[in-house]
Each structure stands twice: as C-alpha cells, then as structure tokens.
Amino acid sequence: MRMLWQAVRNWCHEILDIWNQFWFTPTDPAMLSLIRILAGLMLFYTHLVWSFDLEAFMGQGGWISTDLLGQMWNEQQLAGERVYFWSHLFWIQSPVLLWIVHIVSLIIFAMFTVGLFSRVTAVLTFLLTVSYIHRASGALFGLDQINAMLALYLMIGPCGARYSIDRWRKRRKEAGASKEVGLTISGNVAIRLIQIHMCVIYFYAGTRKLLGASWWDGSAMWLSAANYEYQSIDLTWLANWPLLGIALTHLVILFEVFYCVLIWNRLTRPVILFLVIVMHLGIASCMGMITFGLAMIVGNLAFISPAIVRGILERRGSSKQAAALATEGRG
C-alpha cells in the first residue's frame, strides 16, 4: 500500500510539473509581437470599413437603432439567457461626435498595430473591439469574434516587446542596451490561451457540422460551392466529380474534429498548419471570406516557434546591417 501511495504521489507531482511547464515556462515574445502586427492590421481594416456608412451602422437612428437593440437584448434576457452588453457608442447622440470618436478609435488601432504605448493601446483595442461588436450586433460575423479573441489575449502578454515603436524607443533611450528581449511568463500564457482557443473553435465547428445531414452524406461541399450568394469562383464543375466533393466534405470534418489532437504533435503539426492555410485560403478565394480566412491563419501562427519568426524577420535585418558595415569598410 505504501508503494502504491508513493507511485500515485509521484504521478501527481509529474502532472503538476507538466502543467506548470506548459503554462509558466518563460518564452520569447517574438511570435506574440508578430500576431500583434497582423491582428492589428485586421482590426484597423475591419473598423475602417464602418466609415463608409458610419451613421447607418453606429448612429442613434441607424438601421438598427439603440432602442431596438436594447429591446433585442432585453428579449433574450426575458427568455432566460444571461446577456451582458455595453458600448460607448450607445451614449453618442451627435453625428459629429460619433465621427470624432470613430477617428480616435482608428488612431488607437493604428498605434496598437505599430506598437506605440502597446500596454495601454492593447487594453483600449480590446475594449473598443467589444464595444463596436455590441453596437453592430446585427452585422456580427465570425471575423469579429476572432478579432475580439486575439485582442483579448494580446492584451495579456507583452505584445509590444518586439517589432514595435516601443522597443525602438526603449533602445534609443537606453543607449548601449542589449538587443535581446527577455523571456516572459505572460507571453507564454497569452500564446497558450490563443492555442487552446483555436482548438476549441475548430472542435466546436466540426462537431456542430455533424448535426447536419449534408455533412454525413457528403453533399455539404457541393451545396456550398453551388451557393451563388457566397460564390466568388465558379465551382459548379464539382457536379461532374461527386466523389471529390464527398471526399473534401469528410476531410473538413476530420480536420476540424481532430485538429485539437494533431496540432500538438510535432510530427503532425506541419501537416495541420499546411491544411489550415489551404482550407482558409480556399474559403477566402472561393467564397469571398478573405478577412475571416486571414484572421484564422493569424490565430494559427501561435503554434509556430518564436525562433522561426526571429530567424525569418531578424535575419533580413542582420543581413542589411552586415551589408551596410561592409560598405562602410570598403569606403
């Protein structure tokens, strides 16, 4: 009995060590910083497009007025759903003030993207993203949810530690400071949260599809290709290749359901990331969901090692610096 107790105790200690290593191992914030740039560009763009008809989407008397929106939320609460919503846009009455606030918001998104006062602008970016989502709930799509998810986790970690104006200002202020950026626990926590959230998204997407008969009989891919509402490229030729449509349908199901398992294995991870790029670029080009496809690819970057990011981005900078020094030496 004593040996059994000792074995169980050792096993619990091993599990705890693995847990702590998974969450609290300090990591290089290079990938988190790259995600900040790409997610920031997406956030800036997706909020910039509201400017084409800002008052119709966000104004008090827009297509969905604030009064109607409040009634919609209240009905959900009366139906037993726990709903909490807020938006700074609810209290803006003047169109002029609406435009001023919107322009300020775009400036904050731009500052976040380039990494200027990133610790502050990261928080403001998340709050603004959620605020716009709650105001424009009638135009809410998966892209907005992915944007909010990335903004939330970027707010947690040091997303401005690399490839940012903050980093450039710090190096100029501290002359002779080391070029290296310290490893951080919060950066690892942020990356892990993105990784787990991506697993949840794909798993729920896959299992939700299993409720539809078209995903069982293999016709879902053909029904999507034949839908003119989302069709950007003519894929009706799939009608002549029914087995291909069926195979693609079941491949999507297998990919989404087992993504959460295969993405963690180092041997299968490159294959899964390749399928991510193929699937989402395919959706982007064939069904017109370009921004959503790109946002999903950005989320998947969390599974790529920071060393790879530094090897790609900083090698080019080192090469340019070496070339410049060589030129000066010849001079």
| pLDDT band with cut points at 50, 70 and 90 for residue 325 | very low
The pLDDT value recorded for residue 109 is: 97
Q: Decide if pLDDT at 326 tops 50.
A: no
| pLDDT band with cut points at 50, 70 and 90 for residue 321 | very low
β-pair partners for 184? 27
The pLDDT value recorded for residue 134 is: 87
What is the rounded CA–CA span in Å between residue 211 and residue 220? 12
Where is pLDDT greater, at 156 or 64? Answer: 156
pLDDT tens string 117-152:
999 999 999 999 999 998 887 777 888 999 999 999
Residues 190, 157 contacting (CB under 8 angstroms): yes
Query: Long-range CB contacts (< 8 A, 24+ apart) of 19-23?
Result: 22/192, 23/188, 23/189, 23/192
Average pLDDT over residues 148-176: 90
Number of C-beta neighbours around residue 226 at 10 A: 14
Number of C-beta neighbours around residue 161 at 10 A: 24
Tokens of 223: 């029904």
Average pLDDT over residues 79-98: 81
The pLDDT value recorded for residue 178 is: 59
Which residues does 269 contact at the CB level (< 8 Å), separation at least 6?
262, 263, 303
Q: Decide if pLDDT at 90 tops 80.
A: yes
The pLDDT value recorded for residue 177 is: 56
Report the greatest alpha carbon distance in the chain: 80
Q: Decide if pLDDT at 262 tops 90.
A: yes
Average pLDDT over residues 53-73: 79
Angle separating helix axes 118-135 and 142-156, nearest 10 degrees: 150
Mean pLDDT of the chain: 86
Tokens of 293: 């496809």
Burial of 229 (0-12, 13-18, 19+ CB in 10 A): exposed
What is the rounded CA–CA span in Å between residue 156 and residue 158? 7
pLDDT tens string 188-226:
999 999 999 999 999 999 999 999 899 999 888 888 878
DSSP assignment of 225-273: HT-TTT-SS--GGGGG-HHHHHHHHHHHHHHHHHHHHHTTSTTTHHHHH
Number of C-beta neighbours around residue 279 at 10 A: 18
Instruction: Give the helix/strand (H/E) hosting 163.
Output: none
Which of 35-49, 150-164, 216-230, 256-270 shows the lowest mean pLDDT across its residues? 216-230
Q: Decide if pLDDT at 86 tops 50.
A: yes
The pLDDT value recorded for residue 98 is: 92
Where is pLDDT greater, at 294 or 240? Answer: 294
The pLDDT value recorded for residue 327 is: 37
Which residues does 45 contact at the CB level (< 8 Å), separation at least 6?
291
Which of 92-101, 241-250, 318-327 shows the lowest mean pLDDT across its residues? 318-327
Give the ranges where the chain is alpha helix by DSSP (H). 2-24, 30-48, 54-58, 66-78, 95-114, 118-135, 142-156, 165-173, 185-209, 213-217, 220-225, 242-262, 269-287, 290-300, 306-330
Residues 165, 313 contacting (CB under 8 angstroms): no
The pLDDT value recorded for residue 331 is: 37
pTM for this structure? 0.88
Where is pLDDT greater, at 11 or 64? Answer: 11
Residues 39, 154 contacting (CB under 8 angstroms): yes
Distances (CA, A) of 101 to 75, 104, 118, 128: 29, 5, 20, 11
